[in-house]
Structure formats: structure tokens, C-alpha cells
Amino acid sequence: MAIFSFDERVPKIGKNCYIAESAEVIGDVTIGDNCYIGPGAILRGDYGTIKIGNGTAVEENAVIHIEPNGLSLIGNQVTIGHGAIIHCNKIDDYAVIGLGAILCFEVEIGEWAIVAEGALVTRGQKIPPGKLVGGVPSKIIGDIKEKHKEFWVYGKQLYINLAKKYPASLKRIG
């Protein structure tokens, strides 16, 4: 894993986290406990601040960055899908950001909201809790149902378990 300080900005990493060898964590980034940071993920707190809650998964090739002096708050048990680009101010607890989604500056995502794969959440959009959004630009396309929550509770636990298991079980063989 590549963890870098930048000027006086030093990452803080919680307990039982897995950070892949090819991931980069730079500067003022705080990662809570039991988090999974996948291969190729980049978390850049070089001139802004990123705070990630407990049990959050930042999947492969996702990028998290924020404008100068900005703050990006990412809650507990958030899932950030493969290849997502995150430049937003806030993602509340249990939210799901789909594969390849883009969240622009000043965006806020409510608790248990789901941003569909490939969606573009444009500058300043506020997505209410419990809503499903999709499209380019994104718009509300539905409400989160209990079946969505059940599926994502299961999925989130998979990544919490991986964060605990990878350090002991992942072995380079080539």
C-alpha cells in the first residue's frame, strides 16, 4: 500500500482496515475502522480533507478528492463502487455509489440513498435520504425499498469481512 504524508498532512487509518498494495492514500485522509480500500483506489487529501467512517468500502479504481480547503465526509458503511469518482461534500451512512458514478463538487448524498451505475450527480445536487437516482444528469427514479437495504446490508458485511480476512489470507504467489 502507498500511504503518503503531504506537507503537514498525514493520513490516519483505523483498526482492521485493508488497503491494497496499489491503492494510494495521500495527505489529510482519515479512514475509520473495518474499511476496505481496493486495488487502484486513490484517496487524495493533498489540499482538502477526506474523512471516511467505519465499515466503508472504497472499491477498485475509485477516486476520492475534494477542492482546496474542502471537506469530504463519507459516512459509516458506505459502498463506493468500482471506478467511481467522488468530489462531493457528503455521503451519509449506508449510501451506495454505483460503478463508474461521478459525484461533483458540493453534492450531498442522503442516508441509504443509492446512486445508480454510471450516474452523473452534478454540482450542488442534494439527494434526499432513501432515494434511488440515476442518469446523466442524475434525477430521482425511485424510493429505496426494504429489499434494497437487505441486499446492501449483506454486501456491506462482505467487504467488512474482506477487510479483516485479507491481511492474513492474501498471499502474493507471483
| The three three-digit cell numbers of residue 67, written as one number | 477542492
Between CA 31 and CA 42 the distance in angstroms is 13
CATH topology of domain 2-169: UDP N-Acetylglucosamine Acyltransferase; domain 1 (2.160.10)
Percent of the chain with pLDDT over 70: 99
Percent of the chain with pLDDT over 90: 94
Residues in the chain, total:
174
Residue 32 in 3-state DSSP? Answer: coil
Between CA 146 and CA 94 the distance in angstroms is 13
- Looking at residue 172, its pLDDT comes to 86
What Å distances lie between residue 166 and 54, 77, 162, CA to CA? 17, 18, 6
DSSP label at residue 9: B
| The three three-digit cell numbers of residue 20, written as one number | 491494497
Express each pLDDT in 28-53 by its tens digit: 999 999 999 999 999 999 999 999 99
